[in-house]
Structure 1
Amino acid sequence: MKSSLLAAVAATALGLATTASATELRLSHQWSNKDIRHQVAQIVADEVAAADVDLDIKIFGSQSLFKAREQYKPLSRGQLDMTVFPLSYAGGQQPAFNLTLMPGLVKNHDHAARLNESAFMEAIEAKMADDDVMVLVHGYLAGGFVGKDKCITAPGDVQGMQTRAAGKAFEQMLAGAGASIASMASSEIYNAMQTGVLNAANTSSSSFVSYRIYEQVACYTPASDFALWFMYQPLLMNKSTFDGLNEAQQAALMAGAAKAEAYYLEEAKKQDAASAEVFEKAGVEIASMSQEDFDAWRALAQETSYAKFVEDTPDGQALLDLALAVE
């Protein structure tokens, strides 16, 4: 009697575990739960839960499941279901993805939104599909420049300066403008500025604020009507996992994704404006980039970063042309 009861309990537990594994999706990312990218993931998870379609999304933040740059391969292999991921991190697997962190390719957030609906993004998504990956939520985050002693808006402003750039393509462009490049994590900018190792830097709006760079600089050029630094950081999903869900579950995911994407765009804009306010309040001069400045940077990028991308990437010129065709 006792053994049959234990067997029944075990069978029930096994059945529950099977149900849980069939309906639970694991979502990984590298940020804290205060970050905009976590909030994007949380919106999708909350909307799916509210839809009551026997689907649960469990979020693993702060690199607790996979390291920041090591999420794309497990996603493509079905070892991970979802991730919020800077796509250029996977540029080693798919060189085309390097275009999603390329100077001057995106001028502002509304332009980024148009790129997300373009033939360029269709081509990038086709590359992802080859890896069994699909996009649920599109999103770009922006960044700007700081100068220790002066403002940086045009290429001539960085000549002779020791500069930190966010990404290899930016390093190539800034070197072309006559800057010396010091490669380091954004978390190291503060000390490098303080000790005189750097006198200029380029990173995201959120990093400038979270690392208190306003304490070390005289001028900040935030992302506004024009900016150079835009990084594509979508919410991705394993395509086979999505295809294996029923119609109600897929519909709930897509509805949640649409809500999250609208939030992402508006919050990204707010993040740039908020960073400018923080710097201004700290007594830092705020500069802005003009159309003329942006055009000069893009012309320089054509000769440096873009040329190197085309040289290194199969069908690179065709992909670049698709991106540049989006006004």
Structure 2
Amino acid sequence: MKSPLLTATALVAMMSAQAAQATELRLSHQWSTQDIRHNVAQMVADEVATADVDLAIKIFPSKSLFKPREQYKPLSRGQLDMTVFPLSYAGGQRPAFNLTLMPGLVKNHDHAARLFDSPFMDELKAEMAEDDVMVLVNGYLAGGFVGKDKCITKPEDVSGLQTRAAGKSFEQMLVGAGASIASMASSEIYSAMQTGVLDAANTSSSSFVSYRIFEQVSCYTPAGDVALWFLYQPLLMNKSTFDGLNGAQQEALLAAAEKAEAFYLKEAKIQDAASVEVFREAGVEIAEMTPSDFDAWRALAQKTAYKSFVESVPNGQSLLDMALSVE
């Protein structure tokens, strides 16, 4: 028969072991495990695990935990710890976020990286902080157009087509070009193309590949020397959750995030070129957007998306000017 002292000692030891168990954070995203955005999340999780600070990150890919557009609210409420998230999806709650998917605003990946440390991004992060949200890993991805039956390079090419765009600003520009809009997450493009709901779409190079859109289209206009489509897709975290971690855990997360951000920028550039080869090997025609095509789109955007943003967001002109001032 065990003595009361031994029993008490064993109980204390068991309770101490339970208390020492790693804190587990839940990270949600909408993409497949082959996607660059999952790889960014996995890198953070792996680096944190290697740091051995009693912190684990469990990833829920492929919209298995929350629907793609419905992740920001649970994140801000502390019901979700982390997400890789196209910030413009939350543009309905925070109209300023629509500026992170504004046609022609970002010229290339290096320009996007300069935006990360700009007063423009500081303003957006201040709005996120009001929602108890913080940025761990910055990331912009470029993208292009696909057409089910034709190539899309200039505004008149989308006239009369049922088209998907990733955010309000692109939708406004496309409507200005005569397109009809079908709003959906990028994960839904394949089935919409397959069932005839969509004639054309734009999204990131990575999503075009990871969702196998090349199986449903005849022409692809990738991000090249000029890219009209750039979308800010950071890894976000609930700020109170971060603040509740101990110092070693916070340091491990920040170190992992720094490494992942460098990887994200490098891989984003690679993804654009790689997507062209994937589509070409699938027998899809590759079209090129010329500088004059780009200028035509941007001129249309200024009359539609830019104008609407300035008119509908209280500090819209200031935010737009701040973004445009980054060379």
- Normalising to structure 2: TM-score of the pair? 0.88
2:37 maps to which residue?
A: 37
1:213 maps to which residue?
A: 213
152-161 vs 167-176, greater mean Cα deviation: 152-161
179-188 vs 103-112, greater mean Cα deviation: 179-188
1:71 maps to which residue?
A: 71
Alignment of 1:100-179 (within 5 A): 100-179=100-179
Alignment of 1:19-98 (within 5 A): 19-20=20-21, 23-98=23-98
| Structure 1 pair 3–69 and aligned structure 2 pair: CA distance change class (3 A) | farther
Question: Which AA in structure 1 matches 2:16?
Answer: G
Q: Tell me how far 1:191 sits from its aligned partner.
A: 5.7
CA contact (8 A) 1:47 1:256 kept: yes
2-structure distance, mates of 1:69, 1:164? 15
2-structure distance, mates of 1:55, 1:193? 41
230-239 vs 12-21, greater mean Cα deviation: 12-21
242-251 vs 296-305, greater mean Cα deviation: 242-251
1-structure distance, mates of 2:94, 2:232? 15
SS at structure 2 position matched to 1:106:
coil
State the Cα deviation string for residues 254-302 of structure 1 (Å, max 9, x = none): 2111110111112222222121112212332212223332222122111
Q: Tell me how far 1:184 sits from its aligned partner.
A: 4.6
2-structure distance, mates of 1:86, 1:177? 24
1:282 maps to which residue?
A: 282
1:299 maps to which residue?
A: 299
CA contact (8 A) 1:155 1:297 kept: yes
| Structure 1 pair 244–300 and aligned structure 2 pair: CA distance change class (3 A) | same
2:19 maps to which residue?
A: 18
1-structure distance, mates of 2:194, 2:133? 42
Q: Tell me how far 1:121 sits from its aligned partner.
A: 0.7
| Structure 1 pair 42–95 and aligned structure 2 pair: CA distance change class (3 A) | same
CA contact (8 A) 2:98 2:168 kept: no
The number of aligned residues is 326
SS at structure 1 position matched to 2:21:
helix
Matched, 1:252 2:252: yes
Name structure 2 gaps, 5 residues minimum: none
Alignment RMSD: 2.6
2:99 maps to which residue?
A: 99
Q: Tell me how far 1:188 sits from its aligned partner.
A: 5.3
Q: Tell me how far 1:313 sits from its aligned partner.
A: 1.7
2-structure distance, mates of 1:290, 1:171? 21
Q: Tell me how far 1:40 sits from its aligned partner.
A: 0.9
- Normalising to structure 1: TM-score of the pair? 0.88
CA contact (8 A) 2:25 2:57 kept: yes
State the Cα deviation string for residues 23-55 of structure 1 (Å, max 9, x = none): 433323233333222211121122222223333
Question: Which AA in structure 2 matches 1:206?
Answer: S
Name structure 1 gaps, 5 residues minimum: none
1-structure distance, mates of 2:242, 2:185? 35
SS at structure 2 position matched to 1:209:
helix
CA contact (8 A) 1:141 1:232 kept: yes
| Structure 1 pair 66–282 and aligned structure 2 pair: CA distance change class (3 A) | closer
CA contact (8 A) 2:35 2:206 kept: no
Q: Tell me how far 1:182 sits from its aligned partner.
A: 3.7
Question: Which AA in structure 2 matches 1:116?
Answer: F
Identical pairs, percent: 77
52-61 vs 180-189, greater mean Cα deviation: 180-189
Q: Tell me how far 1:73 sits from its aligned partner.
A: 2.5
1-structure distance, mates of 2:102, 2:116? 15
2-structure distance, mates of 1:59, 1:180? 36
Q: Tell me how far 1:228 sits from its aligned partner.
A: 2.0
Question: Which AA in structure 1 matches 2:310?
Answer: V
2-structure distance, mates of 1:84, 1:185? 14
| Structure 1 pair 243–91 and aligned structure 2 pair: CA distance change class (3 A) | same
2:180 maps to which residue?
A: 180
2:201 maps to which residue?
A: 201
Question: Which AA in structure 2 matches 1:160?
Answer: G
Q: Tell me how far 1:204 sits from its aligned partner.
A: 2.5
1-structure distance, mates of 2:117, 2:138? 9
CA contact (8 A) 2:68 2:185 kept: no
Q: Tell me how far 1:61 sits from its aligned partner.
A: 2.9
| Structure 1 pair 158–78 and aligned structure 2 pair: CA distance change class (3 A) | closer
| Structure 1 pair 317–6 and aligned structure 2 pair: CA distance change class (3 A) | farther
119-128 vs 150-159, greater mean Cα deviation: 150-159
SS at structure 1 position matched to 2:20:
helix
| Structure 1 pair 94–161 and aligned structure 2 pair: CA distance change class (3 A) | closer
Q: Tell me how far 1:231 sits from its aligned partner.
A: 1.8
194-203 vs 150-159, greater mean Cα deviation: 194-203
| Structure 1 pair 275–95 and aligned structure 2 pair: CA distance change class (3 A) | same
